[in-house]
């Protein structure tokens, strides 16, 4: 289970831990400082769980916490890596990124491997056998990266490559 902490901006109040939006709403509704005044604003911190990188990339705070629980937490691992790319690498805002999650083409491999596979599938058949041994996959991969067509990134201790980085 994922654990969060709501740290109040009011220095006269202690924070609280929560695991769901419902629990956050219940605790924050009844939360008062030491003078009995209602606490209204919190910094939301990710304490324990599997999606800390995604939480950070999405800039989750009190105003968009419902998006985390209603949409992001329900995504498949594949879609979470797409969302991470759109947020942390491509720089989309959260709502734009959620709308484009299905537009991203990401493979779980290094850029060199993805570029080599692309070349083999699309171009290798057109080369005469006598020239195939001269193909430099490292340079092709570098060209794909420099042109912005492909982008390698790390997420969740895995290496991914976005193969349609220019067309999103």
pLDDT, one tens digit per residue, over 96-116 is 999 999 999 999 999 999 998
For residue 40, count CB atoms less than 10 angstroms from its CB and return exposed for 0-12, middle for 13-18, buried for 19 or more.
exposed
CATH 1.10.10 placement within the chain: 106-167
Q: Which has more pLDDT, 131 or 110?
A: 110
CATH tag for 106-167 (out of 3.40.50, 3.30.70, 1.25.60, 1.10.10): 1.10.10
Average pLDDT over residues 125-130: 74
pLDDT, one tens digit per residue, over 138-147 is 998 999 899 9
Token code pair at residue 45: 């911190």
pLDDT, one tens digit per residue, over 33-43 is 999 999 999 99
């Amino acid at each position: 289970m994922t654990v969060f902490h709501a740290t109040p901006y009011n220095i006269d109040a202690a924070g609280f831990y929560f695991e769901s939006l419902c629990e956050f709403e219940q605790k924050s509704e009844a939360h008062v400082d030491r003078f009995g005044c209602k606490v209204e604003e919190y910094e939301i911190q990710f304490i324990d769980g599997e999606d800390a990188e995604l939480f950070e990339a999405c800039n989750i705070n009190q105003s968009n916490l419902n998006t985390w629980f209603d949409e992001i937490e329900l995504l498949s691992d594949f879609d979470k890596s797409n969302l991470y790319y759109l947020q942390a690498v491509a720089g989309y805002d959260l709502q734009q990124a959620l709308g484009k999650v299905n537009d991203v083409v990401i493979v779980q491999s290094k850029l060199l491997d993805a570029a080599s596979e692309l070349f083999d599938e699309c171009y290798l058949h057109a080369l005469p056998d006598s020239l195939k041994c001269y193909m430099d996959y490292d340079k092709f991969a570098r060209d794909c990266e420099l042109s912005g067509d492909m982008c390698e990134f790390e997420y969740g201790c895995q290496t991914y490559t976005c193969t349609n980085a220019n067309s999103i």
